[in-house]
Chains A and B, each alone.
Chain A
Amino acid sequence: MSKPHKHNWAAFTALVAGLVVMIFPFVWMILSAFKSKADVYAYPPKWIPSGLNWENFARAFVMVPFARWFLNSLLVSAAMTFLQVGSAIFAAYAFSKMRFPFKGAIYLVVISTMLLPQILTIIPMFLLIAKLGLVDSYGGLILPELFSGFTILLLQQYFMAIPDDLMHAARIDGCGPLGCLRHVVIPNSGAAIATASFFSFLGHWRSYLWPLIVVNSTKLRTLPIGLKYLITESSNDYQVMMAASVMAIMPVLIAFVFTEKRFIRSITLSGLKA
C-alpha cells in the first residue's frame, strides 16, 4: 500500500449507489417521523413532510407508556453491562494471565457456548426462572442473559496483548495476582473495557427473544418489546411508529459515530479469531 494511488471513481460510484440503498431506510424514518397523517396517506406519496410535526413524538408517549419502556431498556441494559463486563474482566484476566488446572478445558466450555443457539436452552431457562419466581420481573430479565462468551473473548484478546514483562515487574514490586489486575491490567485496558461495555450495552438494548418470553406486563416491557406491540396498538399510524423508531435507533447511531473506529477494530479482532 506504499504506492500513491489515484482514486478509483468507478468503484466509488458503485459504492455510493449501494450506500444510498443502505441508508435510505434511516432517511425515510427520520423524514416520516415528522409527517402528518395526511402526508402518509397522500397520493401521489409525499417523500418530504409538509412541516415539522413534533406531535408524533408526543403521541408515542401518550398512546403507549413509551417513557417507561425507554427507562426500562436503559436501566436493564446499564445494569447488565455493569455486571457482565465486571464478571468478564475477572474471567478474561484469569484466562489470559493466570495459571490454574483445567484452564484449557474450562476456557473451551466458556467460549464454545457462543456457538449454542439460544433457543436450545431457552425452555429450561424459562422453567428455572419460573421456579425462582422471577417471571415478569427485572431479575428475570437480567439474570439469564448476564453471561456472554463474546465479552470474555473480547477482553481476553486485549489482556493477552499486555506484555508479561509489565506483570513481572509488578510481581517483583510485591503485587499478587489481584494486585496485578488492579494496578497493571485495568489501567492499561481503558479502551478495551469501554469497547466491551459498548458491545454489551448494545446487545442488551437490542435483545428481543428472552424479554418477549419473560415479560408479561405492559409496564415491564423493554423498548424492542414495546415497539413490537406498538404495531398493533398504534393501529398502523406509521408516522408515530417512525417517531418511536427514531427514539430507539438514534442513540445507537450517534454512539456508533463516536466509537466507530474502535468498534470496527474489535469486531475484526474477535470476530475472526472466534
Chain B
Amino acid sequence: MIRKFRLGKSYYEWGESAIAFFILLPTLSLVALFILWPLVQVFYLSLTNWSLVKGTKDFIGLDNFRFLSKDPNFLKSIRTTFMYSFIKIPIDLVLALGCAVLLDKAVPFRRFIRASYFAPVIVPIVASALIWIWFYDPGIGPFNTILKTLGLAPVNWLSDERTALLSIIIFAVWRGLGYDILLFLTGLQGISETYVEAARIDGANPRQIFFRIKLPLLSPIVYFVLLMGVINSFKVFTEISVMTPNGGPLYSTGVMVYYIYEAAFTRGRFGRAAAASVVLFAIVLALTLVQKKIAKKSVFSE
C-alpha cells in the first residue's frame, strides 16, 4: 500500500515526494546559497556604505542612490549601455534576419555555412577579442591598412572617444550574429508550406509573402531575440574589459556592468556598487515588462 497525502486539490505519494526533494537538494542548496541569498543581500548592501577600503558597513538609507543620481560616470554608463543596445540590436536583427532568409533558400553547403556563421559564438570572447584588438590597431592593424589603400584617413578605433563604442559593437555583432541567425532560421523552417502556398495561389508576390505571411509568423522569435538582445546588452562586460581597459577613452565604453565592477573590485565600494546593480536590475526589469506589453499587442500567436 502506497501512502499518500493531500495538499490543496492534489494527492502526492510520501515516498516519491521525499526522494524528489532529496535528489533536488544539491540544486536547491546551490540556488539558495549562490542566487537567492545574494539576491536578498544585494538589496540590503545597496543601503549601506560597505567599503573594503574604509572598513565601514553602516546603514545609510538611500544615500548611495542619491550619490549615483549625481555621479557623472554612472549617468554616462547608463547612456552608454542604452546606446550600445540601440545601435547593436537593430544591426543584429536586420543582418541575422537577412542571413536566415538567404539560408532558408535552396543553397548548397547550407550546414557548412550555418556552422561557419556560428563559430564565433562559441569561442572564448577574450581569445577572439585579442584578434580584433590587432584588427583595430591604428598603426599595423588590417582595418587601417585597408583604409589607407583606399586613400582614406586612418581611424583610431578603440583609442578614440568617438569610435571606441562603435568598434566594440562591430565586434559584438560579429561574435553574436550566428546565434540569432540560428533562431530565425529555425523559425523560418518551421513555417508550414501551406500558408505560403495559399498566399501564392491568391497571387501574392515573394515580398508580400515575406512581409505579410512569414514575418508575422516569425514575430514570437523576433520578440525573443529582441528580449534576449536587451537583457544581454545590459550584461556586456568581457569585450569592454579586454579591448578597452579603464572604460575606454574618456569613459566612452564604460557600460553599467563595467561601472559596477570598477566600483566594487577596484575601489572596494561594495555598497555603492550594489546600489548600481540594483538600478541595473530595475532597468532590465522595466524594459522586459514594457516589451511584454508591446508583445501582447503585436506578436502573432496561433
**A interface residue numbers (CB < 8 A to B):** 1, 5-8, 11-12, 14-16, 18-19, 21-23, 25-26, 28-29, 32, 40-41, 44-45, 87-88, 90-91, 93-94, 98-101, 103, 106, 109-110, 113, 115-128, 143-144, 146-147, 152, 176-178, 202, 205-206, 208-209, 212-213, 223-225, 227-228, 230-231, 238, 241-242, 244-245, 248-249, 252-253, 256-257, 260-261, 264, 267-268, 271-272
Contact = CB atoms under 8 A, between A and B. Distances in A.
B42 A209 contact: no
B87 interface: no
A18 B99 contact: yes
9 contacts: A25-B174, A88-B27, A122-B38, A127-B45, A206-B123, A208-B126, A209-B238, A225-B126, A242-B131
Q: What is the interface residue range for chain B against chain A? A: 35 or more
Contacts of B27: 87-88, 90-91, 110, 147, 152
Main secondary structure of the interface of A (DSSP, over half): helix
B56 to A, nearest CB: 14
Contacts of B178: 22
Contact of A267 (B115, B127, B177, B182): B182
Contacts of B260: 119, 123
Nearest to B44: A124
Given A94-B24, A117-B284, A152-B27, A15 B35 contact: no
B284 A252 contact: no
B59 interface: no
Interface of B: 7, 10, 12-13, 15-17, 19-21, 23-24, 26-28, 30-31, 33-39, 41-42, 45, 99, 102-103, 105-109, 111, 113-120, 122-128, 130-135, 137, 140, 142, 145, 174, 177-179, 182-183, 186-187, 193, 221, 224, 231, 234-235, 237-238, 241-242, 256-257, 260-261, 264-265, 270, 273-274, 277-278, 280-281, 284, 288
Main secondary structure of the interface of B (DSSP, over half): helix
Contacts of A268: 182-183, 186
B105 A11 contact: yes
Of the candidates A119, A121, A127, the one having the most CB atoms from chain B within 10 angstroms of its own CB is A119
B120 A25 contact: yes
A93 B23 contact: yes
B118 A264 contact: yes
Contact of A231 (B21, B24, B103, B130): B130
Contact of A123 (B34, B37, B238, B270): B270
Contact of A120 (B127, B140, B261, B277): B277
A170 to B, nearest CB: 14
Given A91-B23, A268-B182, A121 B35 contact: yes
Nearest to B187: A272
A203 to B, nearest CB: 10
Contacts of B102: 11, 14-15
Given A7-B108, A18-B99, A120-B42, A252 B123 contact: yes
B39 A116 contact: yes
Contacts of A231: 130, 133, 242
Given A110-B31, A231-B242, A87 B45 contact: no
